Amino acid sequence: MVQKAEKIWFDGELVNWDDAQVHVLTHTLHYGAGVFEGIRAYATVDGKSAVFRLREHVVRLFDSAKILGITIPFTIEQIHDAIIETLKVNGLKEGYIRPLVFIGDGAMGVHPGANPIRVCIATWPWGAYLGEEALEKGIRVKTSSFNRHHVNSMMTKSKACGNYVNSILAKVEAVKDGYDEALMLDTQGYVSEATGENIFIVKNGVIKTTPLTSVLPGITRASLMKVATDLGYEVVEQLFTRDELYVADEAFFCGTAAEVTPICEVDNRTIGEGKRGEVGTLLQKEYFNAVKGGNAKYTDWLDYYEI
């Protein structure tokens, strides 16, 4: 259950959590054409708080909307400021932020006509997405029977609500089968991403991640690539197959919610030593340090605020 905060920002105003309601004929509820973001704020080492890469997330929200042909009736600056305002009014020193842009009610049928574009921003406290233990011990993963979207059927660069039907199918199947997360292949059979995370593998000290073909351009992915490069690692973006993953020395998922989660098993095969690997451990440590303002090199990724 999501832990309620006091207020939700809704179409430019702060309303009580329980009053942030919509009509059942809300267009997006029927057809899935809406876009959203997942952002985290962390308590920083100096006793303040900071949102991690807020601007990049807000820009991606606007890009996602543009891809779907949706015009957000606010500016990037307004949404940026509204996010900070919502965190502050809810007294959240750290937590998760969920902006959502959706098509309201009015016309029905697939064409949304002139229905209003509505925007809300909810915030709530949220711990480790795949569980605290997963960050240390890693997770068990199964290749999904569902492919990730073909790049010309759903727009994979858009964090579109409807895209997540595919994620739900895969996640529910994986959990029912006794695994923690699903690995999704693209329609050519190459490794794509998980239901809400990008993937990295490590082999002989070289770090590899999938190129931005069928995957969401993850902000955590980009951050880890930068951190790894700064640490002197070679990082390559290249398609790879599931059997290359099977024989990797290490593998991990990353995303705003999942942060850096080691993969200890794929399709009942142990990955490396079956635990958080050396590179994964280091990158996870550096990532948590960066998001908490512990590394001066990355403080321009942070939008500080005080409660």
Binding pattern to ligand PMP, positions 20-39, x when CB under 6 A? ------------------x-
Note the residue count of the chain: 307
CB atoms within 10 A of CB 296: 7
Q: Which of 104, 109, 111, 130 is nearest to 22 (CA)?
A: 104
Rg (CA), the chain: 19
How far apart (Å, rounded) are the C-alpha atoms in residues 183 and 142? 6
Footprint of ligand PMP on 229-288 (CB under 6 A) = 255-256
Task: Indicate whether 216 belongs to the interface with ligand PMP (CB under 6 A).
Answer: yes
CB of 66 to ligand PMP, least distance (A): 17
Structural tokens at position 270: 């142990």
Q: Which of 79, 101, 183, 219 binds ligand PMP (CB under 6 A)?
A: 219
Q: Which of 7, 142, 221, 276 binds ligand PMP (CB under 6 A)?
A: 221
**Helix residue spans in 117-250 (DSSP H):** 132-137, 164-176, 219-230, 242-246
93 has catalytic annotation: no
Task: Indicate whether 218 belongs to the interface with ligand PMP (CB under 6 A).
Answer: yes
Q: Which is nearer to ligand PMP, 11 or 56 (CB)?
A: 56
Q: Which of 64, 158, 220, 284 binds ligand PMP (CB under 6 A)?
A: 220
Contact between 79 and 61 under an 8 Å Cβ cutoff? The reply is yes
Structural tokens at position 103: 């098509």
Task: Indicate whether 49 belongs to the interface with ligand PMP (CB under 6 A).
Answer: no
Count interface residues toward ligand PMP (CB under 6 A).
Answer: 14
Contacts with 9 (C-beta within 8 Å, 6 or more apart), sequence order: 15, 82, 83, 85, 86, 119, 120, 121
Q: Which is nearer to ligand PMP, 115 or 220 (CB)?
A: 220
- First-to-final CA distance of the chain: 25
Q: Which of 34, 95, 99, 196 binds ligand PMP (CB under 6 A)?
A: 196
CB of 16 to ligand PMP, least distance (A): 28
CB of 23 to ligand PMP, least distance (A): 27
Contact between 259 and 287 under an 8 Å Cβ cutoff? The reply is yes
CB of 81 to ligand PMP, least distance (A): 21
Q: Which of 193, 250, 286, 303 binds ligand PMP (CB under 6 A)?
A: 193
**DSSP element (H, E) containing 291:** helix 278-291
Catalytic residues: 159
Q: Which residues bind ligand PMP (CB under 6 A)?
A: 38, 159, 193, 196-198, 215-216, 218-221, 255-256
